[in-house]
Amino acid sequence: MLGGLLAGERRMIVVRDRDTRGHTKLGWLDSRHTFSFGDYHDPGQMGFGALRVINDDRVVPGAGFGEHGHRDMEIVTIVLDGALEHRDSLGNGSVVAPGDVQRMSAGTGILHSEFNASKEDAVHFLQIWIIPEAAGIAPGYEQKRFEPTDHSGRLRLVADRHGTDGAVTVHQDVKLYLGALSSGDRVVHEFDKTRRAWLHVANGIVHLNGDELRAGDGAAISDETSITLETGHQAEILLFDLA
């Protein structure tokens, strides 16, 4: 239900339009914020359940975020284009590329840096913050690769609290799915009506229950037992199934 409401009706799907997101523009960084972050503050956009941040970041060649700290947050990074170099105070060093899912548990405290691994090409990535179910856990790091065929034409679980089916483990009751849809694909996803979901369109165009969403759009989904995703184009999507 994305259009106007009649008196007494409940809105079960609410779109977060891409053009209403927060925006940080620096010489080396172009970042769009689905929820309040940094200097962008909107009391009506403080997250959705345990989902606290979705930042859509583009970083110029060779630049990045110098060493900085986090506490008590589950941070998931997904690269859409290019490559991101990661280093942290646990001794981890890696390059995150399209197809990789990185999870960093900040817990009692962690320092890390993130830089564009290329001196020639920009990097485009999503950084997601999820509030953990408990404070003060031990910091941790995990990175796994999911081949394009793993989520082509379907939703593939890539993160949950149990590491189910090869997913990375997050310390919260959330299930994160990735989907890569092509023209003519149709995916139906069912979930318990006691839960809710957030859809983020990373690239392309997708129809959610018949309504068109484009790259950068999001949608809050509640009081629904299923959704239908279709496209006549190409689309990359993230679906968060939340308590």
What are the pLDDT digits (tens) for 67-101? 999 999 999 999 999 999 999 999 999 999 999 99
Residue 11's pLDDT is 53
- Given a cut of 60, whether residue 9 has pLDDT beyond it is no
pLDDT beyond 50 at 7: no
Residues 94-124 pLDDT 10s: 999 999 999 999 999 999 999 999 999 999 9
CA distance 223 to 197: 10
Instruction: Output the pLDDT for position 218.
Output: 98
Distance between CA atoms of residues 160 and 118, nearest Å = 31
Q: Which CATH superfamily is domain 13-242 in?
A: Jelly Rolls (2.60.120.10)
pLDDT at 5 over 70: no
Which tens digits make up the pLDDT trace of 141-152?
999 999 988 999
Q: Give residue 192's pLDDT band: very low, low, confident or very high (50, 70, 90).
A: confident
Prediction pTM value: 0.94
pLDDT for the residue 168: 98
CA 64 – CA 148 distance, rounded (Å): 27
Give the pLDDT of residue 6. 34
Q: For residue range 206-239, what is the model confidence (pLDDT) as tens digits?
A: 999 999 999 999 999 999 999 999 999 999 999 9
Q: What is the pLDDT of residue 193?
A: 80
CA distance 139 to 42: 30
Query: DSSP letter at 148?
Result: G
